[in-house]
Amino acid sequence: MHNIIVRMVIYILSPILAAAVALISGWGVSYDVTSHVLSLDLPALIGAVVAAVGLSSAIFRRWGVS
């Protein structure tokens, strides 16, 4: 695969993969089936967003425009 395609795939998927950490049970988003309540843990969600932005920034810094 060409180097540009690999970089673009990593750059596009990195925020999705980093934000997916928040979807793990107990890490930011949880759903209680019995009471039908969706709970959000804001510190965990903010941490996931910061990690996603940081990962994207690191990829852009490494392979971005010179």
Q: Is 90 exceeded by the pLDDT of residue 3? A: no
Query: How many CB atoms are located within 10 Å of the residue 28 CB?
Result: 21
Q: What CA–CA distances, in Å, run from 46 to 33, 40, 49? A: 25, 11, 5
Closest CA to 47 of 21, 25, 26, 66: 21
62 occurs within a structural domain:
yes
In tens, the pLDDT along 12-45 reads 787 777 667 666 656 677 788 899 998 888 887 7
Find tokens 């060409």 and name the residue: 2
18 occurs within a structural domain:
no
Q: How many domains does the chain have?
A: 1
The pLDDT score that the predictor gives to residue 35 is 93
16 occurs within a structural domain:
no
3 occurs within a structural domain:
no
The pLDDT score that the predictor gives to residue 66 is 58
pLDDT mean over 57-63: 76
Give residue 37's domain range.
27-66
